[in-house]
Every structure is written in structure tokens, then in C-alpha cells.
Structure 1
Amino acid sequence: MSAKYGLLGLLSYGDQTGYDLNKTFEYSLNYFWNTQTSQIYKELNTMEKDEWLTSKIVYQDDKPNRKVYSITPLGLEELHKWLSKDFVDREMRIRNAFLIKVFFSGGNDVDDNIAMFERYREACQSRLDSMAQTNENVEAHIENEEERKLAVYWKMTARYGEYYFKMCVDWAAEMIEIIKKEKNK
């Protein structure tokens, strides 16, 4: 997936500025799909050229003007095509730089490896702790019955994040114990 489908999905809920999309991405999608602000604006420009969205300038007297994006019927069609594609096998692939480090850490100092796993565990615990805020954010953005129905799916992704980071915390703790046992042999 590229960020464009996340952006199309967000725009399918309503018109937003690039700034709003960036913030929404940050608090709702970022824990399972990371993107940079520059990538968001690049994708918005590309999608506008592809006629998947339009933009208009909203002039303001006391603030900078705002560029507001809207999804087009063509963009909505593209989003629905993407949602209907079955690509579970491809999505099961893992890309994780930390695991590459782990794979090649056998020649490192054991105490450095323990410290590396402890930092990883702490970072994962921090992300897990922040997942509680995600559910609060979902509830805060429900304004009507239609959004309540959508929120069921938003909460599913949040639950995945909770399970994932809990697994990472548990895995790191177990790996620390394995390294310590190997060190004491």
C-alpha cells in the first residue's frame, strides 16, 4: 500500500486540508502505516493530477489561506477497487529493520545486545501505552450514527495495534532472558 490509499480513505469521510490530513494520519493511521508530511503532499499533488481529488483555496482574512482537498468520483472508485483487491499473501510479508539488526547481532557484545532489546522493549511499551489514547480519539470523533458504524472498523485497527505492541514487548522480554542465559553458560 502507498499512503495514497490512506489519504483517499480519509478524504472519503470528508474534505480536509493537507494539514488536517497529516494530523489525522498521525493520530489514526500512523501506528500501522508511517508516512512523512512531505510524502502526504507529494501524494496529494499526484492524485490531483490523476483526477482522484480536487482542491480549492479557501481565502481567509486573519489567517493564511487554506487548500482544501475533496475526493472525486474517480478517486472514490479507485479507493473501492483497492479495498476489493485480495492481497493478503503479499501483506503477510514483514519488513522490519530491527529484525535485520537482530539477525546480525550475534557478533556484538552481549551486554550491548541486551541493551538494544531493552530499548526496543521500552519503545514498544511506550507505543502500547499510547494505544489507549487512540481509542479515546476514535470516540471523540464520532458525531453521528454513520460514524459510529465506521468506528467499529477504526477500533479494529487500534486493537491490532494493541496486540502487536503487546507481542513486541513480550518478545523482547523473552529475547533478553535468552541472551542472559546464553551469557551465563
Structure 2
Amino acid sequence: MSLKHGLLGLLNYGPMTGYELDKAFRVSLSFFWQAKTSQIYRELDAMELCGWLTSERIIQSEKPNKRVYTITNSGKEALADWLSLPGSDIDHAMRVKSAFLMRVFFAGETSTEQALKMLRSYRENCLERIKGMNDAYEAISEYGMVISNNKKSKYWEIVALYGDVFFDAGLAWADKAIALLEEEK
């Protein structure tokens, strides 16, 4: 997946400002695809140059002016083409590339206390992410009402379920790893 396809997917639900896209991205996609606000705006500009979207500047007197983005037919075709690609990214989804796990693998070179500190920090991060998944479910509910399409919001829910299971698995792993190291003490 690329950022541009995620943005096209969000715009396919309806016109949005850059701010609204950034917010929608953060509450719905950010647990599996991270993007900085500056990256989002850079992609929007590039996609407009490609003809995948248009933008309209709205002049406001009480608030700052805003720019509303709308997906074009060309953008809808690009999204449909991307969605219809064979599942070559499935194999990539099964691979883990983690500097953190590399550090854990070599943590035998450090003290048990240092390794425990690292694992406890990871555990706390999992707990925060689990709590943060509530934002994803709220977004599913909120945007599901906006687009009035239960089928589409059902797929959002399926992806959020992956996030739930992923972070729960991380928490369970951390608990077991911590218990193993605490047995050494």
C-alpha cells in the first residue's frame, strides 16, 4: 500500500479538507500505516498534479481559508486498479522487520534489568495502543454514518479487529517474556 492509495480511498467516501483527511487517516489507518501531516499534504499536491483529485479553495471570513479535495474519475480508476492487484503484498504482510526484536534477540549482551526495562516499556506501549483502538472504532462508527454504507464500514471493522489481535498478541508476548526473565532473578 502507499499513502496515496489510502488518501484516495478516504476521498472516495467524499470531499475532505487536508485537515479532515489527516484526522481521518490518524483515527482509521494509522495503527498499520503511519504518515506525517507534511507527507499527506505533499501527496495531495502530487496526486492533484497527476489528475487523481481536484481541490477548491474556500474563502472563509471567520476562520482560515480551507482547501477541499475531491477524487476525480482518474483517481477512482487508480484506486480500483490498485485494489484489483493480485495479492502480492500478502507475502510481505507476513514478514516481520523489527529493530526492536533485533535488540531483544541480542539483549543477552545486557543486564536482565535493562532487558526487563525494555520489555516493560514495550508492554506499556501495547496497552496504550489497545486503548487507542477505541479511536478507530469511533471513527468507523462516525464515518460509517457519513458514508451510509454498512459494507464499507464492515471492512474497516475487520482491519480494526486485526489491530486488536495484533496489540493483544504483543501484550501477551511481553507478559510471557517478562515472566521468563523474572524467573532468572
Tell me the TM-score normalised to structure 2 length: 0.92
Work out whether 1:96 is the aligned partner of 2:94: no
Partner of 2:180: 178
- Aligned pairs for 1:123-138 (under 5 A) are 123-138=125-140
The match for 1:161 is 163
99-108 or 54-63: bigger deviation: 99-108
Q: Which residue of 1 aligns with 2:70?
A: 70
2:74 and 2:128 mapped to 1: Cα distance?
Answer: 40
Letter in 2 for 1:116: M
For 1:27, the aligned partner's letter is V
Matched with 1:113 is: 115
SS in 1 for 2:145: coil
2:143 is matched with which residue: 134, 141, 144? 141
Using a 3 Å threshold, how does the CA distance of structure 1 residues 156 and 132 change in structure 2: closer, same or farther? same
CA distance in 1, matches of 2:16, 2:142: 18
Question: In structure 2, the residue corresponding to 1:57 is in which secondary structure?
Answer: strand
CA distance in structure 2 between the aligned counterparts of 1:35 and 1:117, rounded to whole angstroms: 26
| SS of structure 1 residue aligned to 2:64 | coil
User: Which amino acid letter does the alignment assign opposite residue 66 of structure 1?
Assistant: K
CA root-mean-square deviation: 1.6
CA shift at 1:143, angstroms? Answer: 2.4
Name structure 1 gaps, 5 residues minimum. Answer: none
Q: Given that residues 24 and 139 in structure 2 are in contact (C-alpha distance below 8 angstroms), is that contact kept between their aligned partners in structure 1?
A: no
Task: Tell me: CA distance 1:144–1:137, structure 2 relative to 1, closer, same or farther (3 Å).
Answer: closer
Cα distance, 1:145 vs structure 2 = 7.8
1:57 partnered with 2:57: yes
Instruction: Quote how far apart the aligned CAs of 1:100 are.
Output: 2.3
Deviation at 1:138, TM superposition (A): 1.6
Instruction: Find the aligned partners of 1:95 and 1:2 in 2 and give their Cα distance.
Output: 18
Instruction: State the distance in 2 between where 1:11 and 1:142 align.
Output: 14
Which string of whole-angstrom CA distances, capped at 9 and with x for unpartnered residues, describes residues 108-138 of structure 1? 1110100110110111011112223422332
Unaligned runs of 5+ in 2: none
User: What is the rounded CA distance, in whole Å, between the counterparts of 1:132 and 1:61 in structure 2?
Assistant: 35
Q: Which ranges of 4 or more aligned residues in structure 1 deviate by more than 3 Å?
A: none
The structure-2 alpha-carbon separation of the partners of 1:64 and 1:145, relative to structure 1 and needing over 3 Å to count, comes to closer
- Partner residue, 2:39: 39
Query: Helix, strand or coil: the match of 2:144?
Result: coil
